[in-house]
Chain A
Amino acid sequence: AQSVTQLDSHVSVSEGTPVLLRCNYSSSYSPSLFWYVQHPNKGLQLLLKYTSAATLVKGINGFEAEFKKSETSFHLTKPSAHMSDAAEYFCVVSGSAGQFYFGTGTSLTVIP
């Protein structure tokens, strides 16, 4: 069975400082992993996805994530937060039957 745990429901950072959003997963086989962003009153937009080719995945808007199989983690990072990064972020794992399992989300606040 697959599941996702986002370790922080809320994260607050100052503009220009690093962002770390934590995600742990559980999967009975090698998973597909994704990070999505949701701005207020909008749908979810794909930030990045994990492929087995590289453990460090680069996404849009300067975000990246590192797949660590030994720690079953897929944390999302960005070196320098921007005001426009304030949003809800979801970590997602896909299952063998083509289903997707969502974390409960992390709300990112960026302080000017």
Chain B
Amino acid sequence: IAGITQAPTSQILAAGRRMTLRCTQDMRHNAMYWYRQDLGLGLRLIHYSNTAGTTGKGEVPDGYSVSRANTDDFPLTLASAVPSQTSVYFCASSSTGGAWNSPLHFGNGTRLTVT
């Protein structure tokens, strides 16, 4: 089934540890995104990539980094996790990045708890 695969589904992580959340899509979409979802705050953009080889900062980029070596993969790395990064993380993709009414497609999320 075509779509977005995120791994792991959930993770408990000690503060100070490094963690990479994986995201792979098989729809050949140009644009990919990482959001975090927190109660009462909706979804906030962490980083995005409009095409392979380029990335950009979103609303809440501090403490996170991304790379886009190819079209399909867009990993999110927490270099040194802190408890405020406890959240549900969603990866999404879009064929034309919102222009011409192209919607976002979402993965099922990664629930991360930093202790």
Q: Are A94 and B42 interface neighbours, CB within 8 A?
A: no
Closest to B97 in A: A98
Q: Are B98 and A98 interface neighbours, CB within 8 A?
A: yes
Q: Does A77 contact B (CB under 8 A)?
A: no
How many residues in B have their beta carbons less than 8 Å from beta carbons of A?
30
Where chain A touches its partner, the secondary structure class is: loop
Closest to B106 in A: A43
Tell me the bound Cα distance from A46 to B93 in angstroms: 12
Closest to A96 in B: B99
Closest to B50 in A: A98
How many residues in A have their beta carbons less than 8 Å from beta carbons of B?
26
Closest to B6 in A: A43
Pick 8 A–B contacts, CB within 8 A, sort by A.
Answer: A43-B90, A43-B108, A46-B104, A96-B99, A97-B50, A98-B48, A99-B45, A104-B41
CB-CB under 8 A from A99, the residues of chain B are: 45, 48, 58, 97-98
Q: Are B42 and A105 interface neighbours, CB within 8 A?
A: yes
Known pairs A9-B40, A94-B98. 20 more at Cβ < 8 A?
A32-B100, A32-B102, A36-B106, A42-B108, A43-B109, A44-B43, A44-B106, A46-B104, A50-B101, A90-B42, A97-B97, A98-B48, A98-B97, A98-B98, A98-B99, A100-B45, A100-B94, A100-B98, A102-B44, A104-B40
